[in-house]
Structure 1
Amino acid sequence: MFAAIFVSLLCVVPGIVGQTVRIAGDSTMAKGGGGAGTDGWGQYLGQYLSLPVVNNAIAGRSARSYTDEGRFTSLINAAQKGDYVIIEFGHNDGLAGNPDNGRQDAFGDGYDTTATVTTSSGASLVIHTFPYYIQNAVTALQAKGAIPIVSSQTPSNNWSGSSISAGPRFVGYAQTAASRTKAQYIDHYDYVAQAYNKIGQTTVNTYFPNDGTHTSPTAANIVAQAFVRGLLCSSSPLKNSVNAAGKAVPNGCL
């Protein structure tokens, strides 16, 4: 009887046995997204995979603040050999100047590039680039036998004519970090842009109820589908865990 109860618990508690997909990111991935009427795409990914998904995305975080707060350390400690870890930042990583906002990264893509900022208390602080923070997390995960996937940030509701505008520099930075660490890269920005362009600006405008960054639940699901499409078009072994619903997501490879 005890064995039966134990097996039952294993079935209902995600990630307690076997491979797990873990997510690190900001509000565009997190539960609740950017407030009332919004949600993050990480909440919808699990329906397209045969593996459990643990969403560790936190609103308002950047690659740097996620690192500085010890959240990457906690995720790395929790990750087991064979786990997949999807890392997606960029929306909060831009330059803020002084005083430092706790989120900005040093400008550029050099691993050794730094900048010195002034905190609100007047102290000087050395900060690093976006790739520095991402690469360190990826390397630590790989050392544990986990399988990191670096994903570029999602588009905001910005258009150039009838198409979503080109991605910001953090899209390229994410690809650079993945290339340097030989991690899988998913161009989530362009896969979401493909979906939005097909749907059209008039409808996509309704997907952003509060601002141009945070999506409605309907759009969060579309963004999750776009990630799955990118995954299916990649060489990542995680695509072997895409279920029937995931294999049916719309659009094609870029």
Structure 2
Amino acid sequence: MSLSRRHAAASLAAVPLALAATGTAATGTAQARSGGRGRPRAEVTVYLAGDSTAATKAASAAPETGWGMALPFFLADRLRVANHAVNGRSSKSFYDEGRLATILTAIRPGDFLFIQFGHNDEKTDDPARGTDPATTYPQYLRLYVSGARDRGARPVLLTSVERRKFDAAGTARPTHGAYPDAVRSLARAEGVPLIDVQASSIALWQRLGPEGTKGCFNWLDPGESPNYPDGKQDNTHFQPHGAIEVARLVARELKAKGVLAPSDVRRLDEAIPDSWITW
């Protein structure tokens, strides 16, 4: 598939007004400082484009938690998180639905655009979402990168957070095929900072092991949650603890790679209570 400039322009122009408020979660501290009159010049917004692993969840899904809900815990108050990640989206469907256009309408010079897809791009039997890691996946991701750069914002590419999968020997196994390497190659080619969440998360799951990781993912016993009366065994989505730990991985790498200043990253060594997550 070829993504022409005309295709990009047409999609960005056709933004339903109703999408303008979709999927946006901001920190209360940042909102309070702005006083509703526009944010202070020193404040920076971190826009997050992604899928259900990062998305803000409804109360009806609790305790399922996206790691984007926990990211503000690790960032300084001047960094406002606008979480536009949405369940079930791929780099293609997020773009085709005008959700990237919504972000690019709001983003300002100096802001960040964090880009993490892959889980639903892998669904190649679905023409609305599937992409090819060698061709269309990087083509779509380039639209996010160029869109941010054209507006003076700073794109950051993230590999897909890893699922919970272990072999019989208790070794954590990768599940994303060629998609993470496609992101790594694109980051090198475009000179974009890379946060390799796939690598850091699979290393964390290995340390925790098959049983320890159940407390990170949305594994629930029958009766444990009113939203899942029959229980749940979800190896893709997180409970609060898992979302917090993935957000910690992201924040640690943002600091280590110099994407954010040390003063903009906090609590890396603190235990964050699960109760801090709210729906």
For Structure 1 versus Structure 2, the TM-score category normalised by the shorter chain is 0.7 to 0.9
**CA deviation string 1:164-210 (max 9, x = no partner):** 21352211111122222211011011111222222222121233323
Q: Pick from 228, 241, 246 the counterpart of residue 223 of structure 1.
A: 246
In structure 2, the CA distance between the partners of 1:14 and 1:184, relative to structure 1 (3 Å rule), is: farther
TM, length-normalised to structure 1? 0.79
The percentage of counterpart residues that share the same residue type is: 27
**Alpha-carbon displacement from aligned partner over 1:47-74 (angstroms, at most 9, x marks no partner):** 1111111111111100000110011111
Kindly report which structure 2 residues correspond to 1:89-128, keeping only aligned pairs within 5 A, or say none: 89-97=117-125, 100-105=126-131, 107-110=132-135
Matched ranges for 1:1-254 at <5 A? 9-11=32-34, 16-17=39-40, 18-32=43-57, 35-50=61-76, 51-97=79-125, 100-105=126-131, 107-110=132-135, 129-160=136-167, 161-168=169-176, 169-206=178-215, 207-209=217-219, 210=232, 211-236=234-259, 238-246=260-268, 248=269
Give the 3 Å change call, closer, same or farther, for CA 163–230 of structure 1 in structure 2: farther
- Unaligned 5+ segments in structure 1 are 1-6, 111-128
How many residue pairs get aligned? The number is 221
Larger deviation, residues 130-139 vs 172-181: 172-181
Matched AA of 2:69: Q
Code of the residue aligned with 2:68 in structure 1: it is: G
- Look up the SS of the partner of 2:113 in the other structure: strand
* Cα distance change of structure 1 residues 71 and 226 upon mapping to structure 2, 3 Å threshold: same
- Give the residue type in structure 1 aligned to 2:49: A
- RMSD (CA atoms): 2.5
Q: 2: distance between equivalents of 1:159 and 1:208?
A: 16
Q: Residue 239 and residue 164 in structure 1: after superposition, are their counterparts in 2 closer, same or farther (change >3 A)?
A: farther
Q: Contact 2:133 / 2:179 at 8 angstroms: preserved in 1?
A: no
Structure 1 residues 57 and 241, CA gap change in structure 2 (3 angstroms):
farther
Letter in 1 for 2:53: T
Task: Report SS of the residue matched to 1:53.
Answer: strand
Aligned mates of 2:36, 2:74 — CA distance in 1? 18
